[in-house]
Amino acid sequence: MSKLLSLSDAVERYVPDHVRMLAVGGMHLHNNPMALVREIVRQQRTIGRLLTSPCGALNADLLIGAGLVDEIATSYVGFEHLGLAPCFRRAVEAGSIRVLECDEAYITHGLYAGAGGLAFIPLPAGLEVSDIPKVNQVSYATTTDPFTGREVLVGAPLCPDVALLHAYQADERGNAVLAGAHFVDRLMALASRTVLLQVEQVVPTEEIARHPVGTTIPGFLVQAVVEVAGGCHPTASHGAYDYDEQQLGLYLSMARSAEGVGEYLERHVTGVTEEEYLEKASPRLAELRYGEGPSPVPSSGRSG
Amino acid sequence: MARGQAPFPARDGAGERAVTVAPEPSELAWSRSELMAVELAAHLRDDDVAVMGTASALPQAACRLAQLTHAPGLWYIAGGTCSVNPHLAPVVPSCCDFDLLRADTAIPLADVVLLEGRGDVLTVFFAGGLQIDAYGNCNLVAVGEWSRPSLRGPGTVGLPFLSRVGRVLIYTMSHTRRTFVERVDFLSGPGFLGGPAEWASAGLSGGGPALVVTPLCTMGFDPGSLRMRLVTVHPGVDIDEVRDATGFDLLVEDPVPVTAAPTPAQLSILRDLDSDGLLKGV
């Protein structure tokens, strides 16, 4: 059964008007599922809790700037060497968003717990000394280690209702190849009830089946596949194109004020279709296409 | 490959601040970032396994420099892509860059998180912060009250693991009173906590902060008080300039030596790696 859908159909069908917990994949300026994120903004889905990978970027900041996020669970939202995240920063400083302050260990292990049906997951000793668990008692607690009798920091499982993820390729059944780094996208797919995938290209199942161990998300976890070449822009898509500092710079300068981000959204998101957006971005995407680099896809399959 | 201008760090007019130690030959002119990379590299050992995270072009360059000079056996992991021994051809500003996968190998991020927890594999962790205090604690979360901060930082990522790792090497491009404070407003990356008593009672497996490298100087920690102390000042920098830029009482024992300038051989290696010139700005 084909899971191929248009961008608008995928969001309309699988993302409720208010999502209790939405996970966005990608990390820093890479593999952000921006086409899906932009469509969430166009369809004005509200988000009870937004979960990022250990390092969120535009995927989180744009949703916050659009006023759609009540609460964010994250260990970082920023633009790395390009600067702080303007909408996240403004919302937190104004007290208009709740923060579940997390660290990288909890996000990773919490997704693992969510994927495995674990009631909670113990965290390594020493993590309790930071102030993170002190300000987030939704995600962290302490209990007694039944084996040693010592106090141990534990984390609640992370079970997103919907995950928005980007993959390099998938077949129409949702078997997906994550090119380059996987970040925690695979864990997000394993832990989430509904997975929406945007991909650079849909390929025949026979092609995917040439490198089964390189297929990092099995199709049975995926509800919808949207083919949207260039859909990570202005972030990078590993194996396809680099991040666009011009567009990110434009966003960062406009998003310095609430009015500015509103104008950005109108010009680049809500006021345009995804096709129009990508049409405009296409000269930049051509320039940003990776030259000779690491092989994005396992080059050979099983021998014999 | 196509790449926009991505200076490290992004600073206006940064090129004008490059320090020149000798007018001729011009290749001997080095930047503060290059000096910092050399300082960090000097601390790395042949048997280390180092890990670094967000915006880590500088420590990546330091690790590669160490591998290509005195520490060929060093392993280093660029957290994000989790590439192991990235070849840095060239040095890139983002820790998640696809180019970092030109590397000896790459492992999943979740594996690196496991090993950070295991604690006995990784021996060096690079750290930094919006605030860094006299005991080497770091804060990447919030300046002011956490619930209503005056400055909301990006977040802590993996810094809570500093409590478990062998040696913590702190680096920052900002040596100011706002960065170097007596006590962090929010503890997101543990150093020596509140000092010797608290540090001893915490019984942490990590060795604590070992080194702090800034554009002005290199600092370490006094073994008794566990407070930051000046080790060397970089060429052309006054001790008073360091004191003025530090928001706590920095331990200074006269005489303070001057940091050795990068050698032509070190600069040549760094510039081969850094063909985009990310380290040349400041």
> Residue A177's domain is classified under what CATH number?
3.40.1080.10
Number of domains in chain B: 1
Dihedral sign, CA of A188, A193, A198, A203? positive
pLDDT of residue B281: 73
Over 70: is that where the pLDDT of B5 sits?
no
The residue in chain B having the minimum alpha-carbon distance to the alpha carbon of residue A285 is B2
Number of domains in chain A: 1
Beta-bridge mates of residue B232:
B218
Give, as one character, the DSSP assignment of residue A236.
B
- CB-CB neighbors (< 8 A) of B93 in chain A: 80-81
- CB-CB neighbors (< 8 A) of A88 in chain B: 152
Q: Across the A/B interface, how many CB contacts are shorter than 8 Å?
A: 200
Strand B83-86 relative to strand B103-106: parallel, antiparallel, unpaired? antiparallel
pLDDT of residue A291: 85
Over 90: is that where the pLDDT of A303 sits?
no
pLDDT of residue A293: 66
CA distance A109 to chain B (A): 8
Segment A182-206, tens digit of pLDDT: 999 999 999 999 999 999 999 999 9
Q: Is residue B48 part of a domain?
A: yes
Give CA separation, A115 vs A90, A118, A157, B259, in Å.
33, 8, 8, 51
**Distance from C-alpha of B33 to C-alpha of B37, rounded to nearest angstrom:** 6
Q: Are residues B81 and A238 in contact, defined by beta-carbon separation less than 8 angstroms?
A: no
Q: Are residues B141 and B153 in contact, defined by beta-carbon separation less than 8 angstroms?
A: yes
Q: Is residue B6 part of a domain?
A: no
CA nearest neighbour of A53 among A156, A237, A188, A159: A188
Q: Is residue A128 part of a domain?
A: no
Instruction: Give the model's confidence band at A298: pLDDT under 50 very low, under 70 low, under 90 confident, else very high.
Output: low
Give, as one character, the DSSP assignment of residue A168.
E
Q: Is residue B13 part of a domain?
A: no
Q: Are residues B54 and B95 in contact, defined by beta-carbon separation less than 8 angstroms?
A: yes
Query: What phi, psi does B104 have (nearest 5°)?
Result: -65, -45
Instruction: Give the model's confidence band at B17: pLDDT under 50 very low, under 70 low, under 90 confident, else very high.
Output: very low
**pTM for this prediction:** 0.94
Q: Is residue A175 part of a domain?
A: yes
Q: Which residues contact A285 (CB under 8 A, 6 or more apart)?
A: A230, A233, A241, A244, A278
pLDDT of residue B163: 96
Name residue, tokens 């780094």: A181
Q: Is residue A131 part of a domain?
A: no
Over 80: is that where the pLDDT of B282 sits?
no
Q: Is residue B282 part of a domain?
A: no
The residue in chain B having the minimum alpha-carbon distance to the alpha carbon of residue A81 is B55
Q: Are residues A274 and A35 in contact, defined by beta-carbon separation less than 8 angstroms?
A: yes
Say if the Cβ atoms of A294 and B101 lie within 8 Å: yes
Dihedral sign, CA of A179, A182, A187, A193? negative
Say if the Cβ atoms of B156 and A181 lie within 8 Å: no
The residue in chain B having the minimum alpha-carbon distance to the alpha carbon of residue A57 is B154
**Distance from C-alpha of A64 to C-alpha of A47, rounded to nearest angstrom:** 10
Q: Is residue A258 part of a domain?
A: yes
Q: Are residues A169 and A197 in contact, defined by beta-carbon separation less than 8 angstroms?
A: no
CA distance A200 to chain B (A): 16
Say if the Cβ atoms of A293 and B99 lie within 8 Å: yes
Instruction: Give the model's confidence band at A295: pLDDT under 50 very low, under 70 low, under 90 confident, else very high.
Output: low
Instruction: For chain B, give the mean pLDDT.
Output: 90
**Distance from C-alpha of A178 to C-alpha of A183, rounded to nearest angstrom:** 10
Q: Which domain holds residue A20?
A: 7-103+158-288
CA nearest neighbour of B170 among B130, B111, B112: B130
Query: What phi, psi does A89 have (nearest 5°)?
Result: -60, -45
Q: Is residue B274 part of a domain?
A: no
Q: Is residue A227 part of a domain?
A: yes
Domain containing residue B47: CATH number: 3.40.1080.10
Q: Which domain holds residue B35?
A: 26-269
Q: Is residue A122 part of a domain?
A: no
Over 70: is that where the pLDDT of B15 sits?
no
Q: Is residue A294 part of a domain?
A: no
Q: What whole-number percentage of chain B has pLDDT above 70?
A: 90
Query: What phi, psi does B131 have (nearest 5°)?
Result: -130, 140
